[in-house]
Amino acid sequence: MALLMLLAAAGPERQDAPCPRPLMTGRVEAVVDGDTIRLAGGEKVRYLGIDTPEVHHPGKPVEDFGPEATEANRLLVEGRSVVLIFDQQERDRYGRLLAYVIVDDVFVNARLVREGHARVMTIPPNTALRSLFETMETEARASRKGIWSKEGKALDKRKGGEHEKEN
């Protein structure tokens, strides 16, 4: 069900980005942080289209709401089977898989944005679901959820890119 909704979300109104494609399933062995997991067998997966506050970045302190984002991710996926859906690039420069993640009927990337645990961060060419994430972020901001609840903290803070994080 969630897979069909995800594929439909990238439908014909998105002429600039091809539809994501399901390619892999796996069991989550560990949650690294709010937007990165490790599958059984050791493969790391970085969530596409989103960015969460840092908790393990070398040389940077733990960011506000980082532990909360990590815990939200853990509650959604740890120890569970997931479906990974790839966009245009399958891996980043660190060798991590880049994916939209589905567990049961939950689109994890979107849930984290909608609940205010993540901000939108799309890096071309992986932009198939950008407008979906932007709509969810706008709603989370308006409701002052999670990272959007503290004036001046996470607001409009953008990082160099999801491919820049080495978790």
Residues forming the active site: 46, 54, 96
Strands (E) in the chain, as ranges, are 21-33, 36-39, 44-47, 50-51, 81-86, 97-103, 106-107, 119-120
Centroid of chain to Cα 152: 22
> What are phi and psi for residue 151, nearest 5 degrees?
-55, 130
In three-state secondary structure terms, 44 is: strand
Q: Are strands 44-47 and 106-107 parallel, antiparallel or unpaired?
A: unpaired
